[in-house]
Structure 1
């Protein structure tokens, strides 16, 4: 099992650069950031762009993987995103993973002045978005006319450092998203079952996650892939026991062990932010980073 972190882009770079470097020093497999224009309780505070943040992170780290959790079509277009990703992959020396999802109905959904899309509209756009982005990152020149997105001789030379392209980690829980993960993903991402966030139990969450992995397996079988080919990433902080795993090394080891048994290959924990939903003891967090995996056995 791998242990990674997600660093929200809430720090000026004079401070943030030290956090990203510290994440690598602690031995995290990857450090991700959210790709939003603003997000929930952080809306009225500092919030910086994901692509420039990851560019900065690439310049102060050497081996740790970097990426988004997650990018969505809410304010991105495949053509411009592909150019940014190819550049990021080059700057980082081939260390970028694109976490990608359909998006939600938060602040990003209307920031460009559009009406928020329905779940069906988000799913329709997401399917076309991922398919076109896959082509843009693997072909030198792409022309495509879709229902929602188009490209006209879009050039992406020299392409990604990683071949045939940088990996996609597809966030999905529904059947259409699962099929996209099975077809295009090198990894699958979940935060658990959102219906259990407020009043569910840890046991119910484990059962829901087991069901998600079973559905992913069926989607892979339909596309002729083995589900074992996909990494399975759990972004923590959104399950009923959301704060408990970071209370102690022992609590995290117990949490990670139960989810490893389900088939998860990577767990992502939020870098602590005081006075927020992601508040945690920094010393405990760093002990988890350096000790937990060895205790899993």
Structure 2
């Protein structure tokens, strides 16, 4: 079981932002991710910086920990410009970058560019074309494409990624079309659990059962493509299920153990932010980082 964290871009770099990323590496996290949004829910009227500059700065002040987005979506990104930024990030981080990618939702990002929020079907259509084109842009030196939603005209991406054939994709998906994309293009799959369970006041046991079903559907999508599902890491971004794994070290170990049994092999916990939905005891958080997976392995 790997343990990672997600650091939201809510701190000025000169006022603790840099130190948080460095501390994450000191604590031994496998990876540190950030959200790729223009703003997010309860943070909409608060400090919020861009993901790409933040990750570039983080790459410059760390050396071992992997870095990435959880997640980037087509809501305000275009594959052509995004590919150039990703190749640059992969170079600056010396091959430590992972792209978490998803279809996006109907939140603030969906209308920030002045258009109506896309329907679920249109989001799925765009996500499929977006992912396929991004894969091509990151693996080919020259790409031309004329699609329904995106175009590229003799786009050059030289020298390509440090990681070959390209940097890894961690595809966030629960529906059938998204799971097919994960099976086809992903090096990892991402879930936050099942929001229907949480929204309905479901129990941790019901949440685990829902995740079990998601993994079964992912395995079927892989089988349909003739791919070994064991080739995909299974990542859970915590904080959106009925569980409370950051309440104590024991709570985390129990949570991690039950999800490892399902097949989850990387957990991502939110770096604490005071007076927010991600508030947590920093001392407990750091104990989890340094002792949590070791205790799980000792069981």
TM-score between the two structures when normalised by the length of structure 2: 0.98
Quote how far apart the aligned CAs of 1:240 are.
1.1
1:56-67 pair list within 5 angstroms? 56-67=57-68
Equivalent in the alignment of 1:253: 253
- Give the corresponding residue for 1:79: 80
Cα deviation digits, residues 27-46 of structure 1 (max 9, x gap): 00000000000000000000
Give the structure 1 partner of residue 94 of structure 2: 93
Give the Cα separation in 2 of the matches to 1:13 and 1:196: 37
**How far, CA to CA, are the matches of 2:253 and 2:204 in structure 1?**
15
* One of 221, 230, 233 as aligned partner of 1:231: 233
Partner residue in 2 for 1:267: 267
TM-superposed CA distance for 1:268, in Å, is: 0.1
Question: Which residue of 2 is the match for residue 218 of structure 1?
Answer: 220
Written as runs of structure 1 = structure 2, the 5 A alignment for 1:59-138 is 59-138=60-139
- The 4+ residue runs of structure 1 with deviation greater than 4 A are none
The Cα offsets for residues 192-223 of structure 1, whole Å up to 9 and x where unpaired, read as 00111231110100000000000000000011
CA distance in 2, matches of 1:286, 1:113: 42
Aligned residues: 295
| Alignment gaps of 5+ in structure 1 | none
Secondary structure of the structure 1 residue equivalent to 2:245: helix
In structure 2, runs of 5+ residues without a counterpart are: none
Instruction: Tell me the residue number matched to 1:201.
Output: 203
Matched position secondary structure for 2:58:
helix
Q: Provide the secondary structure at the position in 1 that maps to 2:268.
A: strand
Residue number in structure 1 paired with 2:294: 294
